[in-house]
Amino acid sequence: MFGRMNRRYDVVVVGGGPAGLAAALGALDSGVSRVLVVEREPEAGGILRQCIHAGFGLHHFREELTGPEYAERFVTQVMDRDIDVAPHSYVTGLAVDSSGHRLVRVLSERGGLATVECRSVVLAMGCRERTRGAVRIPGTRPAGIFTAGLAQKLLNLDGYLPGRRAVILGSGDIGLIMARRLTLEGCKVEGVFELMPYSNGLTRNVVQCLDDYGIPLHLSTTVTRIHGRDRIEAVTVAPVDETGRPDAARAWDVPCDTLLLSIGLIPENELSESLGIALDVVTGGPKVDSTLATSLPGVFACGNVLHVHDLVDFVTEEALRAGRFAGEHARQIRRPRDAIALVPGANVRYCLPHTLSADRPHTVYMRAKTRMSPCILRVGNLLERRLRFVVPAEMIHLTIQPELLERFYEDRLQIDLLPVDGGGVP
Amino acid sequence: MTARQEQHYVCISCPIGCPLRLVHEGDQIIEVEGQECNRGAKYARQEFTDPRRTFSTTVPITGAVYGRLPVKLSAPVPRQAIPAAMAAIRLLSAEAPVRLGQVLLRDVAGVAGVDVVACRTMDRVMITPSDDPSSAT
Ligand SMILES: Cc1cc2nc3c(=O)[nH]c(=O)nc-3n(C[C@H](O)[C@H](O)[C@H](O)COP(=O)(O)OP(=O)(O)OC[C@H]3O[C@@H](n4cnc5c(N)ncnc54)[C@H](O)[C@@H]3O)c2cc1C
Ligand code: SF4
């Protein structure tokens, strides 16, 4: 029930975005009955509520939905089942008592500080955006600098147009989508500036969000200085060489009243860190075993808090699994410990989960370090698959069947992405 | 007789993004090159004869948890109709409650069969102190 929070649950889910909602459904499917979702915003749905563009659900629903539509399908399912959702509530901490129960500390607008007892916890707090501090642009610190996602929230939820003349730093999908959105709202977008020699966003977004509206994309170019006292007035941009160093001689100024930063996302790991959960330095999220359990017993993770996803459909898939395993854990079902470490090899930036077992199929998610077409995906000596095309922006997924691991006696399985003769890095 | 000309597109039907070259004489398509599969040729032909796009935006809403209601087009419109569609949507406003899929405007910008529809349900919420008391129900 929306707005209800009891004192005792089987599973408590932290965060009511697509990951949290699917985890709650997964937990219920596993046979537990008392599930709570804690969400700090006034309603569930997470980041999808502000992602009003189409492009969600092609895998899960086989149709192209907008973010709010995708979210609503899951909110409705959660409301139809017996799941409690506590809005305006923030999880501030977590402890384990002597009898092995988890105590979740919830700070809520109405109830103040409360402690909720449960057997399993699912972390589904999503991610946050890298800010300017993370890129250290010299110059002044005037108003008018926003992360792209914050500008998206202001515009799409509150109807507040951040400015009239904008520059976008970084070509991630959110930046590209915001370029089109601002243009439609009458804001002039002067250009998108990308440090790398290729766009970090999907080609379809470059075509439909920039090319269609005549917005220039400047590759191998970055913002080197910010001008303006109270409000941003201009930025200096400059081309960069192969090492990423700006060439001041070829720099130019772009007048603007708004700078949007679309320079990447990182898992929201404040809570995980404060709990002493082991994190992966590459993903920025927790290390997890094949049941998506973190290093803290009974605490599971899924969605963008685990690793930043590009497609919500995979968030849903992962979260349903995490919820099911969290539910099993709450019912005291214990699985043997994973015996195989899964490690990234050549051209693999990361792969998840961190460990595998030989008793059931596993879904493995990974990202490439560079663009390759075509290439060979190799899983130890067990499996080779030819892929036509890989890019860092698109997650690769793979199912490893138990038969494959039947006669695998090592404790370490490496995944590589190898070039094919005639292919390689274009 | 018209001379041969060419148009360049990037196929967006899949993440590979093949660069396409479409050769035509006036309205007559002669050939498409550069695609790695058939979808590329289909895409280039569509782009050449009738490029269509869709978009989302928001309209103001009163009595709901947020001040904006996300809306979308029920189907793509010809690309050049986007400014007119956007101008028509700018004149719209809504009042909670609104249902997901509710039609706010039919045949937007004169494109038959393309409607502006709500992308979410927005219930009527109780007025919070920061809201205008005169709009209370
Ligand atoms: C701007 C943007 C554009 C995107 N565009 C697309 C797209 O076009 N297509 C596509 O398929 N995918 C897209 N994605 C990806 C997809 O939407 C996300 O991967 C997905 O929404 C992640 O879901 P999540 O539940 O992990 O995180 P979120 O949706 O971020 O949800 C996390 C929730 O947890 C809550 N929370 C956090 N901390 C706490 C706490 N301590 N206590 C209580 N609640 C807390 C937050 O308020 C939030 O509601 C986009 C992502 C972003 C950021
Ligand atoms: S032509 Fe085929 S392979 Fe090339 S981008 Fe289009 S759909 Fe992909």
Which range marks the domain in which residue A311 is found? Answer: 11-128+266-330
Instruction: Quickly count: other Cβ atoms within 10 Å of residue A276's Cβ.
Output: 9
Distance from CA of B134 to the nearest CA of A (A): 20
| Ligand 1, pocket residues at CB < 6 Å | A 14-20, 38-41, 46-48, 51, 53, 55-56, 90-91, 124-126, 149, 152, 173-174, 268, 271, 303-305, 309, 311-312, 315
Does residue B79 fall inside a structural domain?
yes
Give the residue from B120, B121, B122, B123 with the most A CB atoms within 10 Å of its CB, the best one to mutate. B120
Same domain for B68 and B108? yes
Does residue B134 fall inside a structural domain?
no
Same domain for A74 and A27? yes
d(CA B59, CA A125): 29
Which range marks the domain in which residue B88 is found? Answer: 56-118
Average of per-residue pLDDT across A135-148 = 86
* Domain CATH number, residue B90: 3.10.530.10
CB nearest to A52's CB, from B58, B86, B100 = B58
Same domain for A369 and A387? yes
Does residue A173 fall inside a structural domain?
yes
CB nearest to A68's CB, from B57, B67, B70 = B70
- Tell me the β-bridge partners of B56: B72
Ligand 1 centroid–CA A115 distance in Å is: 25
Same domain for B15 and B66? no
* pLDDT tens digits for range A312-363: 999 999 999 999 999 999 999 999 899 999 999 999 999 999 999 998 999 9
Same domain for B41 and B89? no
Q: Which of A263, A294, A320 is a domain's end point?
A: A263
Same domain for A289 and A238? no
What is the pLDDT at residue A198?
A: 85
Phi-psi region of A38 (alpha: psi -120 to 50; beta: other; left: phi over 0): beta
**For a pLDDT cut of 90, what percent of chain A falls above it?**
80
Distance from CA of A227 to the nearest CA of B (A): 31
Same domain for A292 and A245? no
d(CA A192, CA A213): 12
- Closest residue of chain B to A204, computed from CA coordinates: B12
Does residue B20 fall inside a structural domain?
yes
d(CA B18, CA B38): 11
Q: Which of A229, A263, A297 is a domain's end point?
A: A263
ipTM of the complex: 0.88
Amino acid occupying residue A84: D
Do the Cβ atoms of B15 and A202 come within 8 Å? yes
Cα dihedral B109, B115, B116, B122, rounded to 10, equals: 160
Does residue A4 fall inside a structural domain?
no
pTM of the model: 0.92
Cα dihedral A211, A216, A222, A227, rounded to 10, equals: -130
Are B85 and B56 within 8 A, CB to CB?
no
Same domain for B72 and B28? no
Closest approach atom of ligand 1 to CA A311: 11
Q: Which residue has the higher pLDDT, A198 or B85?
A: B85
Q: What residue's CA is closest to ligand 2, atom 1?
A: B40
* Domain CATH number, residue A232: 3.50.50.60
What is the pLDDT at residue A163?
A: 96
* pLDDT tens digits for range B91-111: 999 999 999 999 999 999 999
* Domain CATH number, residue A362: 2.60.40
Of A391, A406, A403, which is closest to residue A173 (Cα–Cα)?
A391
Count structural domains, chain B. 2
